[in-house]
Chains A and B, each alone.
Chain A
Amino acid sequence: MASLRLQDLTVEFPVYQANGRSLKKALFSVPMGTNLARDAANRILVRALNHLTLTIDKGDRVGLIGPNGSGKTTLLKTMAGIYEPTSGSLHTQGRVSALLDVQMGMNPDATGRENIMLRGMYMGIHPKDMQVHVEEVAEFTELGPYIDMPVRTYSAGMMLRLAFAASTCVEPEILLMDEWLAAGDSHFLAKAQKRMEDFVQRSSLMVLASHSPELLERWCNKGLYLRNGNLIAYGPLAEVAAVYQQSLAEA
């Protein structure tokens, strides 16, 4: 029984490298500057997520939508436990598998097969236990002999196949994906979608950030609309997408 519960969750982080003054100046010309503040030490504070309260249950396939810089990736990273909430709480039930970046844990000089093991290690799977999955993963990727070639020779789409197959070889209960499926061809996307649907039917949930309406429509049944770190709408995908389209038209 997988579930994700966010209770009044806020994530803020200070921006260190940027020169405070020039960033501030720059912000006057950028239309997304409402979630910036200063902390006691006069650093620029970004409030990336602003008092979010929502529950995602098993069987939910949530599509995360919103303009660039609205906090989608931060939300995924917070759900994955990478960022800790500044206030409020996050209650996670189930094993999280986050596919935020295709390159994660990949070593370009190692072969596809070695990278499957490597990715497994990062997911906390002992190489001995991962061994049994390697063949199945290799087969799913349909990379053929390329699986024994160094990953630096792969195209973006091949990398994606490998990363997706390796990350989902042990059934994830909570699958978090950032916008990167786009690199896959339609054959692979169909295959990946089939795999996903199997998982979600067996008590797991998925959150997917994407700008592609077609992809969201095919993969998701719920929508979550974020803007400037605020939750604007959360519910059936069609309704949320309509709200989003409307706000785009107004802007």
Chain B
Amino acid sequence: MTVAGKPLSAQADPVQTAKPATPNRGRLALRDLANGMSQHWLWRAMAMQDIVLRYRGSVLGPLWLTFSTAVMIAAMGFVYSKIFHLDPERYVPFLTLGLLIWQFISSVITDGCSAFMSVQHAIQQVRLPYTVHVLRSVFRNLLIMGHNAVLIPIVFLMMGHGIGWQALMAIPGLLILCINGVWISILLGMLSARFRDVPPIVAALLQVVFFVTPVFWTVETLGEYRHVGDFNPLFAAIDVVRAPLLGEPFAPYSWPIVGIMTVGGLLVTAVFFSRFRSRIAYWV
């Protein structure tokens, strides 16, 4: 059949045979991922729409997020540079980046919990790769972080903090965070759909973790217990993006920890996703 414009990517293969998923679950899961990635316009447009609709009718729109982050940075920057006796010119840029990256990570995790449940309507009505919903959730948070990122040059300028070529090293860091966001969202999305206790547990944990992770305090202040911070995977995740933007060296274990987390997480998720993918429609 012919359709105006492009072939319909969702049904690129018009002949489909669905058989019981047992023998080639792994292949079906991989195909889900590949189809999800190839339909990038779909989840990009959906994520954009999410943001547009969330702020319809408000004057500042998505810039409210930026505004509230700015207030938080100003208030925390003032108070904590006094508490920690730190030079604001060094502390405020550090805090800004820490908060921005933390907000991204924690909202990817909380949205990941509802990645499937929040779209149960779509899952129950139309055949789409499950990874589309996950990529939409991660991309939406990336867009939100993009809005907040306008604060970085402002803060850097105000504090007279320079930025060097080294900052480009933050790009691979951000990329690896997104990859981790995808597996975390698939895993938590499935677990949350199956066990409705997961989202509140995750939310409660995140709140605790924020305070014990070197987000707004430096890992050096731990003194001889510094390894408690260094081995915190969330610190490692923040560090791979924050350190290059600040022009500082990575903490010694950041990349190895993030690397292990990525590979391990992808493997565990691959097993779960292959095994239970076809169940998601019943769970949500």
Q: Is A bound to B?
A: yes
A positions within 8 Å CB-CB of B? 13-14, 16, 77, 80-96, 98, 100-101, 103-105, 107, 109-110, 118, 121-129, 132-133, 170-171, 173
CA distance A116 to B182 in the complex (A): 29
In the assembled complex, 22 residue pairs joining A and B whose CB atoms fall closer than 8 Å, in A order, are A13-B282, A77-B124, A80-B125, A82-B281, A83-B282, A85-B19, A87-B20, A90-B18, A91-B16, A95-B14, A96-B127, A104-B121, A105-B121, A110-B49, A118-B49, A121-B45, A123-B8, A124-B11, A124-B42, A170-B3, A170-B8, A173-B1
* Nearest opposing residue in chain A for B21, CB measure: A84
* Nearest opposing residue in chain B for A87, CB measure: B20
Does residue B103 face the partner (Cβ distance < 8 Å to A)? no
Contact pick for A80, options B6, B127, B282, CB 8 Å: B127
CA distance A126 to B8 in the complex (A): 8
Interface size class of B (residues with CB under 8 A): 35 or more
With A89-B17, A104-B125 as given contacts, are A14 and B282 in contact (CB-CB < 8 Å)?
Answer: yes
With A80-B127, A82-B281, A84-B21 as given contacts, are A92 and B16 in contact (CB-CB < 8 Å)?
Answer: yes
CA distance A93 to B14 in the complex (A): 6
CB distance from B24 to the nearest CB of A (A): 12
Do A110 and B11 touch (CB < 8 A)?
no
CA distance A127 to B15 in the complex (A): 24
CA distance A98 to B128 in the complex (A): 12
CA distance A77 to B126 in the complex (A): 8
Do A101 and B3 touch (CB < 8 A)?
no
Contact pick for B126, options A16, A80, A89, CB 8 Å: A80
With A82-B281, A83-B282 as given contacts, are A89 and B18 in contact (CB-CB < 8 Å)?
Answer: yes
Do A82 and B126 touch (CB < 8 A)?
yes
A83-B281, A124-B8 are known contacts; what are 18 more A-B pairs with Cβ within 8 Å? A13-B282, A82-B123, A84-B20, A86-B20, A87-B20, A88-B20, A89-B19, A90-B17, A91-B17, A93-B14, A94-B1, A95-B14, A98-B126, A104-B121, A104-B125, A110-B53, A121-B42, A124-B11
Contacts of A84 in B (CB 8 A): 18, 20-21, 278, 281
Contacts of A80 in B (CB 8 A): 125-127
* Nearest opposing residue in chain B for A9, CB measure: B18
CA distance A200 to B15 in the complex (A): 19
Do B11 and A126 touch (CB < 8 A)?
no
Closest 9 CB pairs of A and B: A124-B10, A129-B5, A81-B127, A104-B125, A84-B278, A90-B18, A89-B19, A13-B282, A92-B16
Do B18 and A92 touch (CB < 8 A)?
yes
